[in-house]
């Protein structure tokens, strides 16, 4: 579960991490009222779960009421990488002289959480990791003992943070790690941590993702779940019990198993396409679940074609095929081309059962993905 920036900052502030004064607004008038209370300069920030909001026009710095009104009219309702902006965070401007990155995530290869600090803040940290990995200092933390003060100081000094601010940055890092553990987070970061002209250290952004399987023991965070949904598709996925992530491409992907879906995503990219989503419908693949999955993918305006990657394990391939047929027959018209690949128990029987008037059947995953990518390209020719 991804928290919005405003939600994560509430959590950070409650834990003692300094954040700018802010107000949440969902209308132009509320934005104008908020900047009147906060003062200028102020930042108007779209609250959507996408990166690169600033470059995409989702963040504006304003210095007057007229500019605030103009920015609010521009950002509210805008389409930002496939998402409609319904709310903005109005935040006090920060006069900064330096930007840092501080974060904690799980290093699965090491089997331990890793704390990261970089003086290359305010930019895409993934790009920094790829192009100049030496710019990010890392410290693995034994989860049995938590983060010791010396570990936070060590990684901050190794990152090259100015000694004048190292103590405060180390304190923020320790607090983030404590939140990471106590909140069952999968990722938590501040990018950037700003050093202000007044020598203050402040968290100017906030990212906090929670393990959904642990929400039963995080009641306060669970209350934020409804507001964390970005759009109707994500809300539907939650209601249907699907694992779903909306992406920016045009090839819809449906599978029964996270590994199958991830493999399909990789192959779509390999064959020159762009995935529109991650959608794992789980075991069973009965008609109702298939219908709900197709309804979700067909409802995504970005999707131009769909590929099904289904493995018949406990659920046999012929049963899956019947479910797909029943699901497709519920639609008066198939709005987008659908390609199906079946493997596993009774896969051949299942492929014979599939209604080829409604779907294209391919024997291999590679050929199915290539067909789906080609179908998407034809739509855009």
Residue ranges at the known binding site for Mg(2+): 191, 205
Contact 81, 50 (CB under 8 A): yes
Contacts of 107 (CB under 8 A, 6+ apart): 113, 114, 140
Helix or strand run (H / E) with residue 320: helix 317-329
Catalytic residue among 6, 60, 83, 101: 101
Please report, in range form, the residues annotated as the binding site for ATP: 45, 52-54, 91, 94, 99
Please report, in range form, the residues annotated as the binding site: 45, 52-54, 91, 94, 99, 191, 205, 256, 313-315
Q: Alpha carbon of 247 to those of 198, 266, 278, 329, 374: distances in Å?
A: 40, 13, 7, 27, 19
């132009």: which residue's tokens?
28
Q: Which residues pair with 206 in a beta bridge?
A: none
Contact 344, 365 (CB under 8 A): no
CA atoms of 258 and 280, how far apart (whole Å): 6
Name the token pair of 124: 């895409």
Contact 103, 124 (CB under 8 A): no
* Angle made by CA atoms 77, 277, 105, in degrees to the nearest 5: 90
Of 320, 318, 331, the C-alpha closest to 358 is: 331
The most distant pair of C-alpha atoms in the chain lies apart, rounded to whole Å, by 72
CA atoms of 31 and 46, how far apart (whole Å): 12
Q: Alpha carbon of 343 to those of 222, 323, 351: distances in Å?
A: 37, 15, 9
Contact 208, 185 (CB under 8 A): yes
83 catalytic? Reply is: no
* Angle made by CA atoms 308, 330, 238, in degrees to the nearest 5: 60
101 catalytic? Reply is: yes
């607090």: which residue's tokens?
175
- DSSP per-residue string spanning 183-216: TTEEEEEEEEEEEETTS-EEE---EEEE-GGGGG
CA atoms of 1 and 179, how far apart (whole Å): 15
Helix or strand run (H / E) with residue 36: helix 28-38
Please report, in range form, the residues annotated as the binding site for substrate: 256, 313-315
Catalytic residue among 139, 189, 319, 362: 189
Active site residues: 101, 189
């Amino acid at each position: 579960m991804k928290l919005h920036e405003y939600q994560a900052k509430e959590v950070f502030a409650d834990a003692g991490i300094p954040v700018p004064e802010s107000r949440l607004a969902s209308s132009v008038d509320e934005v104008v009222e908020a900047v009147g209370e906060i003062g200028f300069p102020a930042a108007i920030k779209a609250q959507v779960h996408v990166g690169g909001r600033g470059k995409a026009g989702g963040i504006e710095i304003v210095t007057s009421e007229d500019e605030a009104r103009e920015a609010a009219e521009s950002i509210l309702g805008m389409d930002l990488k496939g998402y409609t902006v319904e709310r903005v965070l109005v935040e006090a401007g920060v006069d900064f002289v330096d930007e840092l990155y501080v974060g904690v995530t799980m290093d699965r290869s090491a089997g331990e959480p890793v704390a990261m600090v970089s003086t290359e803040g305010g930019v895409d940290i993934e790009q920094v990791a790829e192009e100049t990995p030496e710019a990010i200092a890392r410290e693995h933390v034994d989860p049995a003992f938590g983060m010791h003060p010396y570990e936070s100081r060590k990684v901050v000094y190794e990152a090259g943070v100015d000694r004048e601010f190292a103590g405060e940055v180390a304190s923020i890092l320790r607090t983030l790690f404590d939140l990471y553990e106590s909140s069952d987070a999968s990722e938590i970061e501040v990018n950037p941590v700003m050093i202000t002209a007044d020598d203050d250290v402040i968290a100017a952004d906030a990212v906090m993702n929670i393990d959904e399987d642990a929400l039963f023991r995080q009641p306060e965070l669970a209350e934020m779940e409804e507001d964390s949904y970005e759009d109707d598709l994500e809300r539907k996925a939650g209601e249907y019990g699907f694992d779903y992530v909306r992406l920016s491409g045009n090839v819809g992907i449906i599978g029964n198993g996270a590994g199958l879906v991830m493999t399909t995503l990789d192959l779509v990219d390999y064959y020159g396409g762009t995935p529109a989503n991650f959608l794992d419908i789980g075991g069973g693949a009965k008609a109702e679940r298939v219908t709900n999955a197709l309804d979700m993918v067909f409802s995504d305006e970005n999707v131009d074609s769909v590929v099904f990657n289904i493995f018949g394990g406990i659920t046999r391939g012929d049963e899956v095929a019947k479910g797909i047929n029943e699901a497709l027959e519920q639609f008066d018209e198939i709005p987008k081309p659908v390609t199906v690949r079946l493997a596993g128990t009774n896969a051949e029987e299942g492929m014979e059962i599939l209604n080829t008037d409604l779907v294209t059947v391919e024997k291999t995953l590679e050929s199915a993905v290539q067909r789906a990518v080609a179908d998407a390209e034809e739509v855009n020719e």
